[in-house]
Structure 1
């Protein structure tokens, strides 16, 4: 029950999804989803996408089969109309609804069995053939684009970038720092990386207004800076807890009593696909460990190769740490 309550209190889940529901959306706003049909379909689950994929083809085949049936009926080609032996049909071997459906399918999918062939005697049939060919090409192109785009969504690439399950607070270069570890599981580099954070908490303004989701910017650094990181191996990001930090007034015995959520963002571009993606995760007070540091996971072998041991990615070790940030700065 406690785990469920914590999950509901998160705005951003550990895997980066936003835990938010939209209520009382006006009907006119819902109609906007249909106007942006491409994005709407891309955001659907694969099961719904495949259902719509199949349904669109079946529907178009059936609608055109009814039209072919009507043309055959108008020309007296149907079997129950008893055409004469020297009768010239619009489409050879289309004499019922089933054969009309089969001809519609083979025409739109360009299968070309040559069993059912259009004749040059019916202008309406020739016009319908052109229309169905164009519409069939549009449908196939649309779904080809949808499936390729869905396979290559940047959020799939984001799943191969991992944040540590916990954050730690420990000294670094003489200052108390909040640290987070992040790793790229692929050898393909992420270029133009930018890392930052947002502290979400409820605040009350001097005017008495309650801001439920007040956002405070949290700067994260690595030893080389904070922009355009060289993301070839796991990085430890750190936020210096100085007098401008919202963590400055917190201490080891008061941290768990706080109510806030730290959301960490990584914006980067994959060098192989040139797709921009954003990876995010969040930490609540119980996931921040005071007085711990991350265990080193990068070693160098005898042949000069750098090795990363991901089995120790989440491991932390206790270190000597001041009880509060202002304690470490006091004389």
Structure 2
């Protein structure tokens, strides 16, 4: 019994060393808007077969009038490019930035920077894998509310190279910087990019409107810190480490 208890205790503590950025960010990647967050593993022992799942939780009303108070929609995630609904077999040797591309298949496709803050939704992240030293499956979870999703920010690089070795600066794990990002929705951005060139001088009316409303500024927010894993059942705001 003592041996089993010790293994269980180690697995629980192991989940506490898996960390997420306190905030998610929205910025462009390869010309498309993406929602991104950073995760890392503080211990030297590896998580085997790590898999990430990202879900959008929101209230939905069907065309028939049925109200689904907690609708769970799987979102495709990319790292660093490509991918599917869930990333499997992640090598967490260093912190990584996981992204969801906001394309026509995304439920966030019609949301702009201002529209996002008015939505009642939550992005839930689940990381699961096997602890190398114990062989026990562990799971870490966190979530992001609209006010925890920063539009027009990007995570700063934290992996460097010194004397032929890679180093990680965890003091900057959650730090972000402003980046030039359209404030319009991904749908409006795609429409603007698909407008063919006009023979007349000057921008088209659609491009002019998007520039006035979407490229005026980036969002100014303070530097951020780490966000530890939380239990899914609470789905509340969490304090800094």
Q: TM-score range by the shorter chain?
A: 0.7 to 0.9
Q: What TM-score comes out, normalization by structure 2 length?
A: 0.74
Could you tell me how far 1:147 is from its partner in structure 2? Answer: 3.7
Matches within 5 A, 1:235-254: 235-254=96-115
Do the aligned residues in 1 keep the contact of 2:26 with 2:149 (CA within 8 Å)?
Answer: yes
Which residue of structure 2 aligns with residue 192 of structure 1? 49
Report the secondary structure of 1:253's partner residue: helix
Alignment map for 1:93-104 (pairs within 5 Å): none
Unaligned 5+ runs, structure 2: 196-241
2-structure distance, mates of 1:275, 1:146: 11
Residue among 88, 106, 109 paired with 1:227: 88
1:212: which partner in 2? 69
Comparing both chains, which one has the higher relative contact order based on Cα–Cα distances under 8 Å and sequence gaps of 6 or more?
Answer: 2
Q: Equivalent residue for 1:177?
A: 34
Q: Residue deviations 1:162-203, cap 9 Å, x none?
A: 000000000112211100100000111212111111111111
CA–CA separation in structure 1 for the residues paired with 2:106 and 2:118: 18
Unaligned runs of 5+ in 1: 1-141
Aligned match for 1:163, one of 14, 17, 20? 20
Summarize the alignment of residues 84-95 of structure 1 with structure 2, pairs less than 5 Å apart.
none
Residue 167 (structure 2) aligns with: 307
Identify if the C-alpha distance between structure 1 residues 182 and 146 changes in structure 2 by more than 3 Å, giving closer, same or farther: same
Q: Residue 78 of structure 2 aligns to a residue in which SS?
A: coil
Distance 2:152 2:38 in 1: 16
Distance (whole Å) between structure 1 residues aligned to residue 128 and residue 3 of structure 2? 25
Give, in whole Å, the separation in 1 of the partners of 2:4 and 2:131.
Answer: 21
**SS state at 2:68 partner:** strand
Residue 128 of structure 2 is aligned with which of 267, 282, 290?
267
- Counting helix residues as a fraction of each chain, which structure ranks higher? 1
Displacement of 1:254 after TM fit? 1.1
- Cα RMSD over matched residues? 1.4
Choose between structure 1 and 2: higher strand proportion: 2
Confirm or deny: 8 A CA contact 2:7 2:134 kept in the other structure. Answer: no
* 1:328 CA drift (Å): 2.1
Q: Which of 279, 284, 287 is the matching residue for 2:148?
A: 287
Offset at residue 149 of structure 1 (A): 4.3
Aligned to 2:198: none
Task: State which structure, 1 or 2, has the greater radius of gyration over its C-alpha atoms.
Answer: 1
C-alpha distance in 2, partners of 1:322/1:155? 41
Structure 2 residue 156 is matched with structure 1 residue 298: no
Taking structure 1 as reference, are residues 270 and 147 closer, same or farther at Cα in structure 2, changes over 3 Å only? closer
Please state how far the C-alpha of 1:148 moved relative to its aligned partner. Answer: 2.4
SS in 2 for 1:326: helix
Structure 2 counterpart SS, 1:320: coil
Q: Does the aligned pair in 1 maintain the 2:61–2:67 contact within 8 Å? A: yes
What SS is found at the alignment partner of 2:114? Answer: coil
What per-residue deviation string (whole Å, max 9, x for no partner) do you get for residues 207-226 of structure 1?
Answer: 21111101110121202642
